[in-house]
Structure 1
Amino acid sequence: MPAPQDVLPVADGVGLPWDVAVGDAVGAIADARGAHGDDFVVISGGDRYVFTFSPTGVESFYALPEEVASKGLADYRMLCRKLPDEIFTGRRTLPGSLFRRDDVTSYLAHLGHALDVTGDELGERGDVDVFAVTRRLGHRMGLASWAAPGCADGEPFERLVRAFDALDGSDAFVHPDAMAAVAASGKRVERAALAEVADVVEGALARHDPAPGSLFARIVAGWADQDPEARARGVAMDVALIHIASMSNLMAALGWAIVDLVEHPDALRTVANGDEDFARRCALESTRMAQRSIMSRAVLAPVEFRTGAGVVDVPAGWTIATLLPLLNTSAEPSLTEWDPDRWRGHRLADVGGLASPMLVTAFGHGRHTCPAQPFSLAAMTTAMTRLLGRYDVSARWSAHPRPVAAQIGGVARSAGPATMRYALR
């Protein structure tokens, strides 16, 4: 079986933004695609990648088994550029265990309380950055859901917000150009922020018993065999990883959904009037258009990979990747426009114009669908209908907000404020 570079063109001079300075990370891969076609090789910083955008390659990508080509390892390799190693070591409650049905019910209850507090903080009228509001809302809901009692209110909450904003693992793909400086500092800022998280959570654990049946109670129970000091530290690190892994993309997506609705007044009125099904479709559509995700799989054992240019034998140590922003808005001409009515349930209503249904997605396909999709859509729907039903809103931005140019991963973060004027209905 031929090696990738024997069949696919090599995009010479193309690097990824954590290795070399790249002004527009997505644009650089788009240029390589334009020059070399839908399947090509990139060699960056000593690492080797097969990028695929062909219908055959994307379908093959989603069919890769985790034990051969690992999403988990690829995600870890990206996040560890930002996060201290100790946040990953020895974890007993992992983010993938968060979305049991009874857990989601409790998260949505906490979201309701967080929205009440958000309304109190906003008051009757004013100007606010949409993304700042949704980020703060996510912190409050998440910390109420899986941190110790008291962590979602008052000074403990404010301390945790500051710490998690500094510790934000999404910086690894939102600001990949900053990761060299993070490494050169020995992750000094990140380690200080992690110590602050531990101090707040450990202090709350010492003062409060976990609510019976809560996720925090399960986290604490997972460390019951340890002495008090090791138990408190283990609990705090579990909470830190869960929070970092769970909230930032969701709340960025909610921000874009609000931005899109503000720019589409008819749709805004429908959501403000409480149409949850339509709001859910708006959430899917905004998430589709805001995707900046590099979907990657770290190859653990040689794997035959079918591309549009032929089958190649990808060696262990390589990465197979695709980039959602280069598929989600280009696989069919109408995809450049925001149109919630293209969705039915969680799927596109009409895929007849697509070479493959897998070329477009908001949350992934098949076994690689994000496990948080039902919760994320429920949370976005609730937040959109509540906030936009409470306030009349209007845009203070003069042009549609733009994503951070260097970002290559996750849901887009806005390069600048998206200020919205609001007044109580």
Structure 2
Amino acid sequence: MANPLDVLPVADGIGLPWDVAVDDAVGAIATARARYGDTFVVESGGGRYLFTFSPTGVESFYALGEETASKGVADFLMLRRKLPDEVFAGRRLLPSSLFRRDDVTSYLANLDGALDATEVELGESGTVDLFALTRRLGHRMGLASWAGPGCADGDAFERLVRAFDVLDGSDAFVHPDAMAAVAASGMRAERAALTEVSEVIEASLRQHDSTPEVRAGLFSRIVDAWASEPPDVRNRGIAMDIALIHIASMSNLMAALGWALVDVIVHPDQLRLVADGDRELASSCALESTRLAQRSIMARVVLEPVAFDTGVGVVDVPKGWTIATLLPLLNTSAAAGLEDWDPSRWHRHRLVDAHALPSPMLVTAFGHGRHSCPAQPFSLAAMTMAMTRLVGRYDMRPEWVGYPRPVSAQIGGVARAADPCPVGYTKR
């Protein structure tokens, strides 16, 4: 088998946005694809990336095993550009433990409560930035679900919102151009925010410990995992578990909800049906908006040399390389018409015409197979609940100028809006 550098083109002058200044991160990879074809190498910041976009290459990508080409390592290397190492070291309950069936039921109940609070805050009429609304909603639901008593209300909630807005790990891929400044500061703002989170969680712990008869849910499991430690180690460990879970779980979901609301609001026929409670349509709208809003670089760090079929030959990818594909390019180019918003292309969680694609893996909202997002069922249920509730209770009118644009430097996750996205609303 061949070394990739011997048989694949190397994209000259192309770097990734956490290494060099890039005005349009997705556009830069699109330019390289147009010039070099569906498989090429990018050398950036001392690292080597094999990008693949062919049907066979994408299928080979999704077939990679975590033990040889790791998503977890790729995610960690991305997030640690923004977050201090203590967020990751020694965690006892990880975000992967979030989605037990009984937990999801409680999260949806907490979402219902968060929507109640949102309605109180909105009042009868006004104007609100749509993405700020969904982000705050996500904070309230998440903190009610795993941050302990009192953390989703009042001053404790506001303190945690401010801290987690500083600790937003998605900045690593939404604003990769800002990561050099984060590193240069020694992550000073992020460490101060972690201290704030620890102080709020410690107060919540005192309330939790004073009512031992009330023990349920994820927060209690986190507390139990640290029960044998001295108080200072216990308190900090619990706070860091909660911090990582919250950072990892909310921001992409609520960005996707924002885009789904944007798209429904500007399509009157779908808006009317969703407002009337059509949950199946709302779910399809959520899938379609998430598909189009994807800016995800899907990446796997090679831990052991791996034979990788690119579609034009098999290459032996060395340890330390990263194999990657980019969803925004695949999701809109694999067939004619995919650049348009059309929720009817979905039936339940699947594309109606997936069989017409060169490979069904070329288009996705949440990934495929073993590399699909484990939160997909919950995410769709949460977006469906929030969409039907918000547009059912409020007449919402776009007040933005032009359809919202994604942040141009972003390469990863669901798009964040580059500009304010105000919507006027009146209670029905």
Same fold per superposition (TM over 0.5): yes
1:95-134 equivalent positions in 2, closer than 5 A: 95-134=95-134
Does residue 1:289 correspond to 2:289, yes or no? no
- Cα shift at 1:397: 1.1
Q: Which amino acid aligns with 1:82?
A: K
1:257 alignment counterpart = 260
Counterpart CA distance in 2 for 1:309 and 1:165 is 45
Judge conservation of contact 1:60–1:305 (CA < 8 Å) in 2: yes
Counterpart CA distance in 2 for 1:357 and 1:269 is 31
TM-score by length of structure 1 reads 0.99
Does residue 1:240 correspond to 2:243, yes or no? yes
1:142 alignment counterpart = 142
Structure 1 gaps, min length 5 = none
- Cα shift at 1:228: 1.3
1:394 alignment counterpart = 397
2:367 alignment counterpart = 364
2:72 alignment counterpart = 72
Counterpart CA distance in 2 for 1:394 and 1:332 is 32
Does residue 1:230 correspond to 2:233, yes or no? yes
Deviations along 1:113-139, one digit per CA (max 9) or x if unpaired, are: 000000000000001100000000000
Judge conservation of contact 1:38–1:308 (CA < 8 Å) in 2: no
2:318 alignment counterpart = 315
Deviations along 1:345-395, one digit per CA (max 9) or x if unpaired, are: 111011243110000000000011100000000000000000000000110
Deviations along 1:216-259, one digit per CA (max 9) or x if unpaired, are: 00000000110111111110000000000000000000000000
- Cα shift at 1:270: 0.6
Structure 1 ranges of 4+ moved more than 2 A: 207-211
1:296-335 equivalent positions in 2, closer than 5 A: 296-335=299-338
Counterpart CA distance in 2 for 1:364 and 1:184 is 34
1:406-425 equivalent positions in 2, closer than 5 A: 406-425=409-428
Counterpart CA distance in 1 for 2:383 and 2:354 is 25
- Cα shift at 1:49: 0.4
SS at match of 1:329: helix
Counterpart CA distance in 2 for 1:58 and 1:298 is 15
2:161 alignment counterpart = 161
Structure 2 gaps, min length 5 = none
Count of residue correspondences: 425
Counterpart CA distance in 2 for 1:29 and 1:308 is 19
Does residue 1:151 correspond to 2:151, yes or no? yes
Does residue 1:219 correspond to 2:241, yes or no? no
Fraction of identical pairs, as percent = 73
1:9 alignment counterpart = 9
TM-score by length of structure 2 reads 0.98
Q: Which amino acid aligns with 2:2?
A: P
- Cα shift at 1:325: 0.2
SS at match of 1:333: coil
SS at match of 1:48: strand
Counterpart CA distance in 2 for 1:162 and 1:131 is 16
Deviations along 1:372-424, one digit per CA (max 9) or x if unpaired, are: 00000000000000000000011001210000000000000000111100000
208-217 vs 184-193, greater mean Cα deviation: 208-217
- Cα shift at 1:260: 0.3
Q: Which amino acid aligns with 2:51?
A: F
SS at match of 1:335: coil
Judge conservation of contact 1:8–1:41 (CA < 8 Å) in 2: yes
1:186 alignment counterpart = 186
Does residue 1:339 correspond to 2:342, yes or no? yes
Q: Which amino acid aligns with 1:116?
A: D
1:43 alignment counterpart = 43
Counterpart CA distance in 1 for 2:121 and 2:208 is 26
TM-align CA RMSD: 0.7
SS at match of 1:296: strand
Q: Which amino acid aligns with 2:342?
A: D
Counterpart CA distance in 2 for 1:6 and 1:266 is 54
Counterpart CA distance in 1 for 2:55 and 2:228 is 50
Deviations along 1:266-301, one digit per CA (max 9) or x if unpaired, are: 101110000001100000000000000000000000
Counterpart CA distance in 1 for 2:236 and 2:400 is 44
Judge conservation of contact 1:7–1:310 (CA < 8 Å) in 2: no
Counterpart CA distance in 2 for 1:137 and 1:266 is 26
Judge conservation of contact 1:223–1:234 (CA < 8 Å) in 2: yes
Judge conservation of contact 1:87–1:237 (CA < 8 Å) in 2: yes
SS at match of 1:423: strand
1:15-94 equivalent positions in 2, closer than 5 A: 15-94=15-94
Deviations along 1:58-84, one digit per CA (max 9) or x if unpaired, are: 000000000000000000000000000
